[in-house]
Structure 1
Amino acid sequence: MELRLLVTFEKVAAVGSFTRAAAELAYAQSSVTGQVRALESSLGVELFDRLGSRIRLTEAGERLLPYARRIIELTEEARAAVTGAGEPSGTLTVGTMESLTSYRLPPLLEYFHHRHPGVRIALRTTIGDETRQALRQGTYDVGFLMEEETGHPGLESVVLAVEPLALVAAPGHAMAGRTLATADLTGQPLLATEPGCAYRDLFERELTASAPVDFLEFGTIEATKRAAAAGLGIALLPEVTVAAELAEGSLVRLAWEPPFTLRTQLAWRSGRRLAPHVRLFVEQARRLVSEQG
């Protein structure tokens, strides 16, 4: 099996698309398709089921994927060792989420862009269970989590920062300036991002202990903030995502303290030998993201 064929196979499996794999590898799509077919021919099995515009790994592809990743990792380690562990290089697939990508990661991404251009960072937006599953399967090298729990079966993780939350509403909201209990929120219009966000799920769990709740979902943090500022309801969001709006006065913070604590964490698969560029990413994430906390 040629290394380049394994690299192409792993990339297609990671992004779930021949087109996206071609773009990230800077190949023509026909080259990616041809390389995967060449690998399938050499092994005598099909590695992907082609389902119209979608693809998925076959059983044989699932079995091959962890071996392909190990071979690629060892090759990168060998190259670094032979060349004297010079400038870090390699592709790093990172699971992240909207709040962290927009508000926590820019200094980290800027650092790698300027200091280590040989490290190619591919961000994948997923949350919660999806991120943890992708890490266990090896689809992601590392993943950011914003969770109440800090122990995750099959994963190693490091806490980067406690993530404060803020309950926000439009200026002049009837509950502004009052100290609130959870019961005071019953019956209020509630705005939220999609299910699966830890802070939304924990907020819902806390509220439903008193009475059923119904969220008006806006999908993204930006849309949720705009809806709150327009007076459509109240929203619980990471404080870092609403700091600018609170400072300028387009949102106000309501006096309710969440009875739970979220922590921003960086995780990877337990027992995985981290390549040098992955270890560097973990080290710099601990430094740069923790400094913001």
Structure 2
Amino acid sequence: MEIRLLVTFEKVAAHLSFTQAAAELKYAQSSVTSQVRSLESSLGTELFDRLGSRIRLTEAGERLVPYARRIIELSEEARAAVAETDEPAGTINIGTMESLTSYRLPELLELFHHRYPRIKLSLRPTLGDETRRALRQGVYDIGFLMERETEHTGLRSEVLAPEPLVLVAAPGHPLAGAGGLTTPDLADAQLVGTEPGCPYRDLFENELRERTGAPPPFMEFGTIEATKRGVAAGLGVALLPRMTVRAELASGVLVALPWEPPFRLHTQVAWREGKRLPRHVRLFIDETVRLVREQES
């Protein structure tokens, strides 16, 4: 079996799409299809069921996936060991979310840009479920999570820091001058938030639904910056990581409401359990842990 055929097979298996695999590998789709056919021919079995415009792994394909990943990883490890120099090099595919990219990672990205120019960082914007799935499938090398849980099936993770949340509003909002707020006090408030799938948005929404018995009204914005602008304009209140609103709270553009979230989130860096981490990936994890913990000290 040729390594390049296994690489192509693994990408198709991860995405369950010849089109997406071709785009990631920078091949023509016909080349991806041809390589998978060649691998199937060499193994004497079909690896995918073709269902019209969709595909799925056959039983043989399912069995091949972990072997393909192990062979690919060992090949990459061998190549790195032979070519290893004093300067670490390689590509790291990273799944992350907007709040972490914008407020936690700039110092880390700057460090790697200047100190380790031969390490290429490819950032992919995804949320928790999608990030965990991509890590398990081998699409991402590293993933950043902001989760309540700190253990994830099939993954190893390192907790970087607790991520405090704060409910914010414009200074003139009716709740801005209130005393200690309870969850039922928020039942009639217009809520401003990011899209569903965002961990703190989903936990907030579930808490309000359980306590008030009705789905809360959310005005959805695509980004944290847009959410903050909407809140500052008086459109409603929003629950956001404190790190994302420090400047607005300090300047008085936003105020913190006296409501304590009944859940805690932790920012984490994660990778697939059992994965042999190349030198440059291990370096990235170590520097991430060091820098984030320095930020918190």
Q: 1:119 to 1:3 in 2, by over 3 A?
A: farther
* Match in the other structure for 2:295: 292
* Match in the other structure for 2:232: 229
* Match in the other structure for 1:124: 124
Corresponding position: 1:74 with 2:70: no
CA distance in 2, matches of 1:73, 1:158: 22
Q: 1:46 to 1:228 in 2, by over 3 A?
A: farther
TM-score (norm 2): 0.83
Tell me the secondary structure at the aligned position of residue 210 of structure 1. Answer: helix
CA distance in 2, matches of 1:35, 1:136: 24
Deviation for aligned residue 1:247 = 4.2
CA distance in 2, matches of 1:222, 1:61: 43
Deviation for aligned residue 1:233 = 1.2
Corresponding residue pairs, total:
293
Q: 1:277 to 1:69 in 2, by over 3 A?
A: farther
CA distance in 2, matches of 1:185, 1:44: 62
* Match in the other structure for 1:94: 94
Deviation for aligned residue 1:219 = 5.1
TM-score (norm 1): 0.84
Gaps of 5+ in 2: none
Which shifted more, 66-75 or 115-124? Answer: 115-124
* Match in the other structure for 1:43: 43
Tell me the secondary structure at the aligned position of residue 166 of structure 2. Answer: strand
Gaps of 5+ in 1: none
Corresponding position: 1:264 with 2:267: yes
Deviations 1:112-149 (A, max 9, x none): 33433443433333333333333334443222111122
Tell me the secondary structure at the aligned position of residue 71 of structure 1. Answer: helix
Amino acid at match of 1:187: D
* Match in the other structure for 1:148: 148
Tell me the secondary structure at the aligned position of residue 272 of structure 1. Answer: coil
CA distance in 1, matches of 2:221, 2:60: 36
Deviations 1:200-239 (A, max 9, x none): 2332343344313413141533343233223221110112
CA distance in 2, matches of 1:253, 1:211: 22
Identify the match of residue 241 of structure 1 among 241, 244, 248.
244
Q: 1:228 to 1:57 in 2, by over 3 A?
A: farther
Deviations 1:11-61 (A, max 9, x none): 344455545544444444444443333323323344445566655544433
* Match in the other structure for 1:215: 217
Which shifted more, 118-127 or 229-238? Answer: 118-127
* Match in the other structure for 1:194: 195
Tell me the secondary structure at the aligned position of residue 231 of structure 2. Answer: helix
CA distance in 1, matches of 2:20, 2:121: 14
Q: 1:164 to 1:266 in 2, by over 3 A?
A: same
Amino acid at match of 2:220: F
Q: 1:257 to 1:115 in 2, by over 3 A?
A: same
CA distance in 2, matches of 1:219, 1:39: 45
CA distance in 1, matches of 2:50, 2:124: 22
